[in-house]
Structure 1
Amino acid sequence: MGNKITTLLFDLDGTLINTNDLIIASFTATLNHYYPDKYTREDILPFIGPPLSDTFYSIDQERVEEMIARYREHNIQNHDAMVTEYEGVYETIRALCEEGYKLGIVTTKKRDVVLKGLHLSKLDDFFEVIVSLDDVVRAKPDPEPVLKALHLLNSSPSEAMMIGDNHHDVLAGKNAGTQTAGVAWTVKGREYLEEFKPDYILEHMGDLLRILGDPGK
């Protein structure tokens, strides 16, 4: 499937670390403050992925900054207690690093919380580049963050793959011209991601090692 892949860009939340329960709890606590019992878990799932500013703007244009501050306070306070690892992620990322792949993070989170998550999961030594919400004008699915990461890694889209749990990740990769992989463990369900036609669906992060070893598959 085209050029040899040398560069792998990963979303963070829901892809490398399991922050789903934390994110849902932070949205629930924030929204219940303003709109008690109005939003269910199913209502909140679509909010996972886009920048917080977009989500809260769609709910209440007047209180965007106030709601973000409340969300972030809850998120940071509960971060280490609620974030968990996905099976095989650490081992796979370590193996990719040892094999010489260029690794980067492309996320719609702010950098301070990204670093907190990478440190907690002991993944912080493996990634050469982090492109967070602080670093771009336009977030995923715009190609800007992917292209910025590739520039910093001195890589071209044709030798890169973007991996994530959200359609924003798949579309950002496609818009930038990279290959794409969706993760079957997305909280929104495998079928949701398949609609956006990533080049690959990973059942386990270790599938990457097989795909990269046999790119024709």
Structure 2
Amino acid sequence: MTGVVALNQSQAHPFDGRFTLRPTPNLTVFCDFDGPIIDVSDRYYNTYQLALADVQTAYQDKGAPLPLCLLSKTHFWQMKQDRVPDLEIALRSGLRQEQMDYFLQRVCSIVNQPALLHQDHLQPGVRWALELLHSQGVRLVLVTLRSQEQATEILQSYGLANLFTLIRGTQDDTVAYGNAAESKIQLLAEVLQEFPHWATEPAWMIGDTEADILAGQASNIPTIALTCGIRSQTYLEKFLPTRIHSELLSAAHYLVSQSLFASV
């Protein structure tokens, strides 16, 4: 695949002596939240389970029991990574066409419930990755379709909010699950309009979906696609990101190494 480099996961600590720590001024990394930083797989799978159970209960009350087939988390997440629509996931779980609207309604109402939001957790190596980039003088900018308030609170709870120059999200709790590319393109464009000098300096966009890749490309920013989130490598390759890495720490090591070589 032309122009794309896929790397395996790196488990090394960022301060393991492989890099001489030197400031890397004027490099901006725009980073997505869900996927690169936060693992949402447990929340999404539990949302699916609860919505399916609600549909089953509703139709049992009408005297029409449903012969459902609950997908395993592995199977469910593989389908999400291949961008299989929720309707198809519901059909493969045994729902009929007339039950789809209720299922989708339940998914949208359940996915952001506080009890499920607490199931999100940091991806492996994220703290090391962010600290490494910050230590090198990289300007970290969070650009997410998650609620800005939610993203800020979560980063503060992990003691990571202070590593970001800017945290920019939405004011709508329901936008993130849909992950519309046009919304991400607009959000990144708004950030660059507010801080135009960032558009003239070296920058990268890091994310785990086609929305992140398309947003970076629309703003002429090279992109790193991560396979640790909600899209598979096979799916991400279709959008021709500049590079593909397995997770944020691997991407951080690459960016730092490139900056150090460029400064020699």
Provide TM-score, normalisation by structure 1.
0.74
AA paired with 2:185? P
Report the CA distance shift for 1:106/1:129 in structure 2 as closer, same or farther (over 3 A).
same
In structure 2, the partner of 1:10 is 31
Aligned-pair distance for 1:189?
Answer: 2.0
- Which of 192, 210, 214 aligns to 1:171? It is 214
In structure 2, the partner of 1:129 is 166
In structure 2, the partner of 1:77 is 115
AA paired with 1:149? V
Which 5+ residue runs of structure 1 have no aligned equivalent? 49-58
* Residues 207-216 or 10-19, more deviating: 207-216
1:213 maps to 2:257: yes
Offset from partner CA, 1:17-72 (integer Å, 9 cap, x none)? 21221123224423542467488526655389xxxxxxxxxx64x99887634332
1:191 maps to 2:234: yes
AA paired with 2:239? F
Q: CA RMSD in A?
A: 3.5
Is the 1:104–1:149 contact (alpha carbons within 8 Å) kept by the matching residues of 2? Answer: no
Aligned-pair distance for 1:140?
Answer: 3.2
In structure 2, the partner of 1:105 is 142
AA paired with 1:209? H
Q: Secondary structure at the match of 1:90?
A: helix
Q: Which has the higher contact order (CA 8 A, sep 6+)?
A: 2
Q: Secondary structure at the match of 1:161?
A: strand
- Which of 46, 50, 59 aligns to 1:25? It is 46
In structure 2, the partner of 1:54 is none
1:143 maps to 2:185: yes
AA paired with 1:10? C
Q: Secondary structure at the match of 1:214?
A: helix
Provide TM-score, normalisation by structure 2.
0.62
Q: Percent identity?
A: 19
Aligned-pair distance for 1:185?
Answer: 1.8
Distance 2:50 2:38 in 1: 21
How many residues align structurally? 200
Offset from partner CA, 1:118-144 (integer Å, 9 cap, x none)? 2343321111222213289x9534521
Offset from partner CA, 1:104-161 (integer Å, 9 cap, x none)? 111121223222332343321111222213289x953452111222344441066221
Which 5+ residue runs of structure 2 have no aligned equivalent? 4-24, 57-65, 86-99
Is the 1:24–1:44 contact (alpha carbons within 8 Å) kept by the matching residues of 2? Answer: no
